[in-house]
Amino acid sequence: MRGLTHEFARADQAPLRVLEGLDFAVRPGEFTAIIGPSGSGKSTLFNLVAGLDRPTSGVIYVDGRAVTGHSEQVAYMPQKDLLFPWRTIEDNAALGLEVQGTAKRAARAAVRPLFPEFGLDGFERSYPAQLSGGMRQRAALLRTVAMQRSVLLLDEPFGALDSLTRTQMQLWLAQMWQRHSWTVLLVTHDIREAVFLADSVHVLTSRPGRLAARVVVDLPRPRTTQTFLQPEFARLEQQVLSALGTTSDVP
């Protein structure tokens, strides 16, 4: 992202600037977390990276190609799982491939081998209402991964889960990322989650979102529950918290 700025037009008012002059890069296979105050443009940033909107100025490159419209290199998992209640979990998981033009039978065949790895083996014919919150989130991530895009955008994927389930999902995602080396951008409001999962944490200021700090997380992997107890973990949490403490323009 180079010089990324975005504004929303408003009737009879000056445009609302939500992002200003963002410059940062994510390496292939890197897990990056983005954290900032509410309204700092984090979800807007994801819409721009996915090509769902065009920046007011600046440019975004994915795999060396400028994003000028809907990007076929990016898969986007929003805050809610958005599973269709009338479709089975298998059919929900295959939906992204169907939208890309894959025949329904072929899409089902493509996602079926992923179910054991995502802890959903035996639930292919179940419906979303029959699954726990954590299982629904794993199904949503399976649908995202099945699209085989080079970049995964995860927007607060565990924000609606209870604390225990959220920790379990963080541990599971850390294991899955290490196995697959996905390129991941994660938006979160949870400092603990950001430090535990990421290789680097990008801290945004309050609106308009600017880059306040980039915190390198050099904690060893694999990361486990013992990672939370390391003094270095606490130091990194404090570093991110300090960067957030300097970003607020509002009392």
- 88 and 34 together in one domain: no
Domain at 4, CATH number = 3.40.50.300
Strand partners, 203: 35, 213
In-domain check, residue 251: no
In-domain check, residue 84: yes
| Total-model pTM | 0.86
Can you tell me the mean pLDDT for 130-152?
87
- 58 and 160 together in one domain: yes
pLDDT of residue 72: 75
- 170 and 99 together in one domain: no
Mean pLDDT of the chain: 88
Q: Do residues 89 and 130 touch, judged by C-beta distance below 8 A?
A: no
Alpha helices in 24-158 (DSSP H): 42-49, 89-93, 95-99, 104-111, 133-145
Task: Please state, in angstroms and rounded to a whole number, the distance separating the CA atoms of residues 93 and 130.
Answer: 15
- 2 and 82 together in one domain: no
Last residue of a domain, one of 130, 148, 166: 148
Angle, nearest 10°, between helix axes 163-180 and 133-145? 20
Q: Is the peptide bond before 157 cis (omega within 30 degrees of 0)?
A: no
Strand partners, 155: 187
What is the phi/psi pair of residue 137, to 5°?
-65, -40
- 8 and 43 together in one domain: yes
- 175 and 232 together in one domain: yes
- 167 and 239 together in one domain: yes
What is the phi/psi pair of residue 61, to 5°?
-115, 135
Can you tell me the mean pLDDT for 72-91?
86
CA dihedral 168, 216, 180, 69 (to 10 degrees): 110
Helix (H/G/I), strand (E/B), else coil: 240: helix
- 176 and 61 together in one domain: yes
- 103 and 48 together in one domain: no
- 170 and 209 together in one domain: yes
Last residue of a domain, one of 115, 131, 148: 148
pLDDT of residue 23: 92
Q: Do residues 233 and 195 touch, judged by C-beta distance below 8 A?
A: yes
Task: Please state, in angstroms and rounded to a whole number, the distance separating the CA atoms of residues 55 and 181.
Answer: 29
In-domain check, residue 190: yes
Greatest Cα-to-Cα distance within the chain, rounded to the nearest angstrom:
56
pLDDT, tens only, 8-34 = 888 888 888 999 999 989 999 999 999
In-domain check, residue 159: yes
Q: Do residues 199 and 178 touch, judged by C-beta distance below 8 A?
A: no
In-domain check, residue 134: yes
Tell me which of 123 and 39 has the higher pLDDT: 123
Last residue of a domain, one of 102, 124, 148: 148
How many domains does one find in the chain? Answer: 2
Instruction: Determine what percent of the chain falls in helix, strand and coil, rounding each to the nearest 5.
Output: 35, 25, 40
- 59 and 165 together in one domain: yes
Alpha helices in the chain (DSSP H): 42-49, 89-93, 95-99, 104-111, 133-145, 163-180, 191-197, 231-245
Residue 166's domain comprises 1-71+154-246
In-domain check, residue 91: yes
Quote the tokens at residue 44.
């807007």
Reported as a pLDDT band with limits 50, 70 and 90, residue 249 is: very low
- 138 and 161 together in one domain: no
